[in-house]
Amino acid sequence: MPVVFWEAMQAGTPVISTNVGDIGFYCQKFNVGRICEPGEKELADLLVFINNLRPLRDSLAINTSKVTELGSIAGSAEKIYRLAEGFSGQKS
């Protein structure tokens, strides 16, 4: 995942992107952006579409907090700590 995706989530900014890597998966799963097939015309059309739909942009922006929680350092550290704590109680 590009760093700019995670930065956009932290800033509450919906993602507009071509369908590359995991961006499409996260945009669809969490409804935080829109994707298009690679190409200048496709991306330009998507930008015009999203620019003209303020309510859609606002609803996508609200959903970014869900993804921010997934990518936070504190949240990740807490999950790792709980996992390690669980292993420490097991006998080998």
| pLDDT tens-place string over residues 49-59 | 888 888 888 88
Task: Give the pLDDT score at 88.
Answer: 80
Backbone angles phi, psi at 72, to 5 degrees: -75, 145
CATH code: domain 3-88 is 3.40.50.2000
**Domain-wise residue ranges, the chain:** 3-88
| pLDDT tens-place string over residues 32-84 | 999 999 999 999 999 998 888 888 888 888 888 878 877 667 777 888 888 88
- Residue 26 CA to residue 85 CA, distance in Å, equals 29
